[in-house]
């Protein structure tokens, strides 16, 4: 009984959610508006002169790289899903220390690190400069900001002091705004306006003060608790499925996984033939859309019927809104609330990510990456 009512006890929720991750969930619509305003102030030059023999020219790109790790990269993944039918050039997400071989003067590279000190991203940034990629950075500070200023690279400064995953609007909307200003994509204002309205409605419907019996995210958290969540998306929602999986990891402190239709019906689905003593530990969350094409809808339904008796339970979340962006962000917003409420049910503060910090400390003790990169930048400047 306590579990069923815990989410409706404000004092208990605040006691567990010490750093107020739910507050970030509620303010996402405001963050979106602020991110757009900040992005509109960023100037993309025609050329950046770094030294007498070294300059970067900004022109129409032949490919786009979105460079980052964790919460700083997921914005690029979701943007690629949103604009898949409109972007005239390929977009790749780079989560590594260096860029793919093709990256060169025709590559537009958005280098994103919320903290500004993510070692993989700093390394990839220097690689982008070395290759004379058209580089734009987004960060709250750290070495990425100081490197960008030293090299006169166009950059956007975002609010600091948050968990990286709470900064999603600041690593998502600015990319779209800058792509439009560079005339790579066309008008997106209507999509953004609708998405903002839908986000405000979804946030109100899932707010902490809404009781469990009327709150979709609270109800789903109670259903998922005690299982390992598996998230299945498709096409437009591949990035959303990945985001929800990582939110289960970071907010709820749970293992989880994700996959996408139709590919999962050519491999993943066979895994459900395992013993029920194993499969009953998992619950499945299907990200759904009322505009699914007939073939995809039937494939999802067939899969659902196949795994319904194997998993502990199969849940469905339907997107709301008309435009692609609104529908994507409606599911993303529900997922954020869901994973925080699940953390509360588990009695864990959703904000700290101790394992990540421990690995970062261990890497800093072993390697002086920032020192090496600083010397490389000095060489470029000289």
Domain borders along the chain are 2-23+190-346, 45-181+368-381
Strand-pairing partners, residue 91, are 64
Judge contact between 269 and 303, C-beta under 8 A: yes
pTM of the entire predicted model = 0.96
The residues that are catalytic are: 250, 266, 360
Domain at 2-23+190-346: CATH architecture: 3-Layer(aba) Sandwich (3.40)
Return the CATH architecture of domain 45-181+368-381.
3-Layer(aba) Sandwich (3.40)
Domains 2-23+190-346 and 45-181+368-381 share a fold: yes
Indicate if the alpha-carbon torsion angle 7, 170, 94, 377 is positive or negative.
Answer: negative
Long-range contacts of residues 38-42, Cβ cutoff 8 Å, at least 24 apart: 38/156, 38/157, 38/158, 38/170, 38/174, 39/156, 39/173, 39/174, 39/177, 39/178, 40/177, 40/181, 41/156, 42/136, 42/154, 42/155, 42/156, 42/174, 42/178
| pLDDT tens series, the chain, 382 aa | 456 679 999 999 999 999 999 999 999 999 999 999 999 999 999 999 998 889 999 999 999 999 999 999 999 999 999 999 999 999 999 999 999 999 999 999 999 999 999 999 999 999 999 999 999 999 999 999 999 999 999 999 999 999 999 999 999 999 999 999 999 999 899 999 999 999 999 999 999 999 999 999 999 999 999 999 999 999 999 999 999 999 999 999 999 999 999 999 999 999 999 999 999 999 999 999 999 999 999 999 999 999 999 999 999 999 999 999 999 999 999 999 999 999 999 999 999 999 999 999 999 999 999 999 999 999 988 8
């Amino acid at each position: 009984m306590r579990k069923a009512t815990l989410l409706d006890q404000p004092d208990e929720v605040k006691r567990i959610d010490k750093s107020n991750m739910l507050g970030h969930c509620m303010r996402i619509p405001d963050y979106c508006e602020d991110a757009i305003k900040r992005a509109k102030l960023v100037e993309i030059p025609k050329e950046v002169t770094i030294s007498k023999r070294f300059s970067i020219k900004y022109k129409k790109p032949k490919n786009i790289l979105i460079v980052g790790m964790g919460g700083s990269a997921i914005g690029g993944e979701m943007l690629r899903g949103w604009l898949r039918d409109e972007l005239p050039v390929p977009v790749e997400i780079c989560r590594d220390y260096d860029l793919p071989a093709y990256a060169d003067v025709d590559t537009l590279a958005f280098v994103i690190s919320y903290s500004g000190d993510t070692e993989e991203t700093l390394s990839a940034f220097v690689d982008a400069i070395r290759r004379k990629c058209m580089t734009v950075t987004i960060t709250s500070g750290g070495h990425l900001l100081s490197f960008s200023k030293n090299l006169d690279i166009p950059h956007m400064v975002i609010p600091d002091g948050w968990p990286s995953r709470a900064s999603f609007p600041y690593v998502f909307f600015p990319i779209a705004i800058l792509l439009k200003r560079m005339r790579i994509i066309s008008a997106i204002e209507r999509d953004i306006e609708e998405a903002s309205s839908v986000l405000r409605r979804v946030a109100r419907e899932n707010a902490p003060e809404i009781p469990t019996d009327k709150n979709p995210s609270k109800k789903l958290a109670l259903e998922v608790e005690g299982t390992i969540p598996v998230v299945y998306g498709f096409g437009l929602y591949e990035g959303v499925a990945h985001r929800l999986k990582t939110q289960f990891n970071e907010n709820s402190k749970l293992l989880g996984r994700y996959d996408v239709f139709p590919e999962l019906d050519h491999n993943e689905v066979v895994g459900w033939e395992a013993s029920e003593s194993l499969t009953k530990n998992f619950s499945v969350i299907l990200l759904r859309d009322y505009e699914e094409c007939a073939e995809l809808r039937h494939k999802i339904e067939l899969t659902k019927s196949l795994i319904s008796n194997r998993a502990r339970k199969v849940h469905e979340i339907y997107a709301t809104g008309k435009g692609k962006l609104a529908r994507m962000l409606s599911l993303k917003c529900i997922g954020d609330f869901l994973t925080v409420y699940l953390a509360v049910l588990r009695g864990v503060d959703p904000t700290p990510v101790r394992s990540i910090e421990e690995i970062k400390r261990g890497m800093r003790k072993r390697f002086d990456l920032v020192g090496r990169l600083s010397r490389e930048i000095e060489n470029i400047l000289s």
